[in-house]
């Protein structure tokens, strides 16, 4: 049973470009969470999704950031017009349909904005 | 706001010595509590979790943690540290009102040979 998969593992973008991060949850999991980890800091919650629904986006910046979890395919975190401050590690976690008692994390995508 | 604090930013211990990493949480209702470990450049691996019941929980890699309601603490312990335990350790709680996790800032563990 494969764990949570994220790709790419590393992503380099220039200011103003778009970054698209993908997350495939563990098999059988239908809840996906995105977190951001700035250098030397802990993880901060961004958004919680179920299939085709955004449940909680209270941690998402109001502009440039969006997330989706379509019926088919991975969850996508999209950052438009990236700025240097977006450089961080972005982690995806998933949990089973029974709820979020335990979240299982992917290896992360490390975004560097030049 | 709900929070998780880890008072120690960086701890250094000698290999074979005992270890205790501190974690405190805010807000009283019994939370779901977790410890994760992150090796450099890697994702987070779950060490152990507490939901209810026995306040001393055993995890992987020889770690254990004790929930103390009176102190709002969930400290992580290991009786004998190995060099491979050098990593960043995060305490987390599940949000009382939602599904997301609230993480502490982390404690970086260095192990001396």
Question: Using the beta-carbon criterion (under 8 Å), do B101 and A103 form an inter-chain contact?
Answer: yes
In angstroms, rounded to a whole number, what is the distance separating the alpha carbons of residues B101 and A93? Answer: 10
Residue carrying structure tokens 């939370």: B31
Question: Using the beta-carbon criterion (under 8 Å), do A108 and B102 form an inter-chain contact?
Answer: no
Question: Given this model, what pLDDT does residue B28 score?
Answer: 59
In angstroms, rounded to a whole number, what is the distance separating the alpha carbons of residues B19 and B37? Answer: 14
Residues with Cβ within 8 Å of B35's Cβ and at least 6 positions away in sequence, in order, are B21, B23, B46, B47, B48, B49, B59, B63, B65, B74, B76, B89, B90, B91, B92
Which of A55-59, B6-10, B40-44, B76-80 bottoms out in mean pLDDT, i.e. has the lowest? B40-44
pLDDT digits (tens, 9 = 90+) for B19-64: 999 999 986 566 889 999 998 878 899 999 998 888 999 999 999 9
Both tokens of A62, joined, read 């109001």
Question: Given this model, what pLDDT does residue B100 score?
Answer: 77
Residue carrying structure tokens 């993880």: A43
Residues with Cβ within 8 Å of A40's Cβ and at least 6 positions away in sequence, in order, are none
In angstroms, rounded to a whole number, what is the distance separating the alpha carbons of residues A59 and A46? Answer: 4
Higher pLDDT, B42 or B73: B73
Strands, E, within chain B: which ranges? 4-5, 10-14, 19-21, 24-25, 33-38, 44-50, 56-58, 64-68, 73-78, 87-94, 101-103, 107-112
Over pLDDT 70: what percentage of chain A?
Answer: 96
Question: Using the beta-carbon criterion (under 8 Å), do B100 and A45 form an inter-chain contact?
Answer: yes
Question: Using the beta-carbon criterion (under 8 Å), do A102 and B103 form an inter-chain contact?
Answer: no
Q: Does B83 touch chain A (CB under 8 A)?
A: no
Question: Given this model, what pLDDT does residue B90 score?
Answer: 95
**The pLDDT of residue A52 is above 80:** yes
In angstroms, rounded to a whole number, what is the distance separating the alpha carbons of residues A42 and A89? Answer: 10
B89: nearest CA partner in chain A: A42
Which B-chain residues 42-61 have CB contacts (< 8 A) with chain A? 42-46, 49, 51
Q: Which residues of A touch B95 (CB under 8 A)?
A: 45
pLDDT digits (tens, 9 = 90+) for A55-108: 999 999 999 999 999 999 999 999 999 999 999 999 999 988 775 568 889 999
Question: Using the beta-carbon criterion (under 8 Å), do B94 and A104 form an inter-chain contact?
Answer: no
Residues with Cβ within 8 Å of B9's Cβ and at least 6 positions away in sequence, in order, are B105, B106, B107, B108
In angstroms, rounded to a whole number, what is the distance separating the alpha carbons of residues A27 and B99? Answer: 19
């Amino acid at each position: 049973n494969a764990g949570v998969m994220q790709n790419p593992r590393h992503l380099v973008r220039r200011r103003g470009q778009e970054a698209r991060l993908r997350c495939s949850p563990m098999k059988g999991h239908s809840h996906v969470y995105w977190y951001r980890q700035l250098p030397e800091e802990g993880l901060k919650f961004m958004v919680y999704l179920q299939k085709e629904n955004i449940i909680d986006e209270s941690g998402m910046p109001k502009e440039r950031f969006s997330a989706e979890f379509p019926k088919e395919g991975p969850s996508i975190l999209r950052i438009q017009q990236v700025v240097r401050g977006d450089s961080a590690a972005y982690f995806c976690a998933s949990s089973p349909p029974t709820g979020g008692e335990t979240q299982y994390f992917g290896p992360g995508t490390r975004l560097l904005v030049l | 706001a709900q929070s998780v604090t880890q008072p120690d930013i960086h701890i250094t211990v000698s290999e074979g010595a005992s270890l205790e990493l501190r974690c405190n949480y805010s807000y009283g209702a019994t939370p779901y509590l977790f410890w994760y470990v992150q090796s450099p450049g890697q994702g987070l691996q779950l060490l152990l979790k507490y939901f209810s019941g026995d306040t001393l929980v055993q995890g992987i890699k020889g770690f254990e943690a004790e929930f103390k309601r009176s102190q709002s603490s969930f400290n992580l312990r290991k009786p004998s540290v190995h060099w491979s335990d050098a990593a960043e350790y995060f305490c987390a709680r599940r949000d009382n009102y939602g599904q997301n996790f609230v993480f502490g800032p982390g404690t970086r563990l260095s192990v001396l040979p």
